[in-house]
Amino acid sequence: MVEFALVLPVFMLVLCGVLDFGFMLYTRMTVINAAREGARAAVTASDATTIPSVASGAAQGVANSIGTVTTSTSCVAIVSTPSCSWATTSSSQPGDAASVTVTFTYHTFFPLFFGATFPMSSTVQMVLE
One digit per residue, the tens of pLDDT, for the chain of length 129 reads 899 999 999 999 899 889 888 988 988 998 898 889 888 888 887 667 777 778 877 777 776 555 667 777 777 766 666 666 655 545 667 777 888 888 888 888 877 766 788 888 888 888 877
Residue 50: the pLDDT is 77
Q: Percentage helix, strand, coil, to 5, in the chain?
A: 45, 25, 30
Quick one: pLDDT at residue 127? Answer: 83
User: Which residues does residue 64 pair with via DSSP β-bridges, in sequence order?
Assistant: none
Q: Give Cα separations from 10 to 1, 5, 13 (angstroms).
A: 15, 10, 5
Predicted pLDDT at 53: 78
Residue 57 pairs in a beta bridge with none
pLDDT at 102: 86
Q: What is the pTM of this model?
A: 0.77
Q: What is the pLDDT of residue 52?
A: 78
All structural domains of the chain with their residue ranges: 2-127
